[in-house]
Amino acid sequence: MSIDADRREVNQYDLVHPEFVADPYPTMAEVRAECPVGRSTEHGGSWMSLSYQAAQDLAADVERLSSEGVLVLPPQPHQLIEPQPRHAQVTAPPITSDPPEHLPIRKLILPFLAPGAVKQYEPGTRELCNRLIDGFIDDGRADIATGYAQQIPVRIISALLGIDDSQSDRFVGWVRAILELGHLDHHKRAESRTEMLDYFQSQIEDRRSNPRAGDDLFTALCRITDDDGQPLPDYLILGIANLMLIAGIDTTWSSIGAGLWHLAQHPEQRQQLRDDPALWPRAIEELLRAYSPVSMGRIAVDEVDYEGCPIRPGDKVVLSFPAANRDPAVFDDPDVVDFERTGNRHVAFGSGIHRCAGSNLARLEMRVALQTFLERIPDFQLEDPGAVTWAGGQVRGPRVCFVTF
């Protein structure tokens, strides 16, 4: 593709078009073959990286492409939510932060999400997965999206934040209203966000007046003081809690769901994992590569001319990690899922300074969820491949996916 100086209008993709959502890869390959960056005027207009190199280069351009614009799709006019007087300042740092504010906030959360730190969630995740399977194993069929994948990350994030078990179901309700049902009911989404942040606010106040010994993220963030002895501002703690929610839940459930959707169609690969359990970590990375759920957004704050594409201030840019991970310039036979693939330098978790901070927890949840499912239900298949529905936009994964066994 060439875009001439007058910024000719072109529409090479539509992030929420049902065909693109159901199977974006042919479109990505077609556009990538012409230009490493695509252009669309749909939904307020955007550019989208399609090659691996473009995703990396544009992700690295943090000076000119700001993370204040992580969400690319605007609400449609009829979906505009009412102003939220409380918590209007609460964003989702550090995903929404640019340098120099970005790094100190990232450093605050990384120790809670390092491989050693997340190990403590493995037994609880396994127990949860087994409990969910107990609920449907005698039925001979289950929706692995809503009945399994979607039930897991929300409870693990709840434990990470230190939300009391007795409040866990309330938290699940808010999260589902915000992430899962929010696109249907924006009033409910706004109301749930306010309720949830009110609850988090009460948690901050409670931890400040009754310090506790726990090592959960909320307790730790409330304990931290700066060089002058000042605690972190409430809006920042609320923002980090909000980040755990918007970055740690539908992303991971999409990966779990897509992994099971794939394995339902590949009995030979289920057998391969039974024959050689040491392949599991590789299999997880390969599934992450092939079915990367997340595309991140940026907003240009300066002119960027990239490969002939004139990105101008105010333009939105989609960093498509799913497209990067199917780039034939980097991955041989990119559309083939190969658990023995070598040189898998996938960017499912992004690249550069904003690389997903929760990747180690996501990997753990995905591995335990898939392993436990295959142990309990070795043979399963899609009930009706054509009936599987996917959510698209910036997080892609199955939303309804019945399997029989």
Partner 1 sequence: MKVRIDRELCQGHQLCAVFAPEIFGSDDEGFGVLLDGSSEGELDDSQYAAACEARDSCPEGAIEVGEPG
Give yes or no for residue 251 binding partner 1 (CB under 8 A): no
Whole-angstrom distance, CA of residue 352 vs CA of residue 103 = 12
189 versus 289: smaller Cβ distance to partner 1: 289
State the minimum distance, in angstroms, from the CB of residue 112 to partner 1. Answer: 10
Size of residue set near partner 1 by CB under 8 A = 27
* DSSP track, 330-384: TSSSTTS--TT-------TT--GGGS-TTHHHHHHHHHHHHHHHHHH----EES-
Identify residues 36-75 at the interface with partner 1 (CB under 8 A). Answer: 56
Q: Which two tokens stand for residue 356?
A: 């997903």
102 near partner 1, rule: CB under 8 A: no
Asked whether position 8 contacts partner 1 by CB under 8 A, the answer is no
355 lines the binding site for partner 1 (CB under 8 A): yes
CA 345 – CA 286 distance, rounded (Å): 10
Q: How far apart are CA 72 and CA 45, in angstroms?
A: 9
Coil vs helix vs strand at 319:
strand
- Using the CB atoms, write b or e for 278-293: b if 16+ within 10 Å: ebeebbbbbbbbbbbb
Task: Note whether 380 and 320 are within 8 A (CB).
Answer: no
For residues 61 and 285, which CB has a smaller minimum distance to partner 1 in the complex? 285
Place of tokens 């309990």: 376
By CB under 8 A, what part of segment 115-134 binds partner 1?
Answer: 115-117
344 counts as binding partner 1 under rule CB under 8 A: yes
Q: Does residue 85 interact with partner 1 by CB under 8 A?
A: no
By the rule CB under 8 A, 346 interacts with partner 1: yes
- Using CB under 8 A, which residues numbered 265 to 294 contact partner 1? 281-282, 285
CB of 91 to partner 1, least distance (A): 22
For partner 1, the closer CB: 36 or 147: 36
Q: Residue 342, interface with partner 1 (CB under 8 A)? A: yes
Residue 347 to residue 86: CA distance in whole angstroms: 36
Residue 44 three-state SS: helix
* Closest CB to partner 1 among residues 71, 353: 353
Nearer to partner 1, 29 or 353 (CB): 353
Nearer to partner 1, 301 or 353 (CB): 353
How far apart CA 86 and CA 255 sit, in angstroms, is 33
Q: Is 212 an interacting residue with respect to partner 1 (CB under 8 A)?
A: no
How many CB atoms sit inside 10 A of residue 349's CB? 19
Euclidean distance between CA atoms 158 and 200, whole angstroms: 11
Nearer residue to partner 1 within complex by CB, 166 or 342? 342
Please identify which residue in 1, 16, 21, 353 interacts with partner 1, judged by CB under 8 A: 353
CB of 24 to partner 1, least distance (A): 21
Q: Which of the ranges 2-10, 209-217, 247-255, 354-362 carries the binding residues for partner 1, by CB under 8 A?
A: 354-362
Question: Is residue 349 near partner 1 by the rule CB under 8 A?
Answer: yes
Among the listed residues 114, 329, 336, 387, the single contact to partner 1 using CB under 8 A: 114
Measured from the CB atom, the residue of 236 and 357 that comes closer to partner 1 is: 357
**Identity of the residue, 234 or 286, whose beta carbon is nearer to partner 1 in the bound complex:** 286
Which segment (124-132, 183-191, 249-257, 347-355) binds partner 1 by CB under 8 A? Answer: 347-355
Query: Which of 203, 320, 360, 394 is in the footprint of partner 1 by CB under 8 A?
Result: 360
State which amino acid sits at residue 169. D
**Token digits for 39?**
């252009």
Cα→Cα distances 83→6, 27, 187, Å: 37, 37, 10
Distance CA 195, CA 87 (A): 10
Closer residue to partner 1, CB minimum distance, 192 or 360: 360
Helix or strand (DSSP H, E) at 274: helix 267-275
Whole-number Å distance between alpha carbons of 253 and 240: 20
Pick the binder of partner 1 from 75, 111, 211, 314 (CB under 8 A). 111
User: For binding to partner 1 (CB under 8 A), which residues are involved?
Assistant: 56, 107, 110-111, 113-117, 281-282, 285, 342-347, 349, 351-353, 355, 357, 359-360, 363
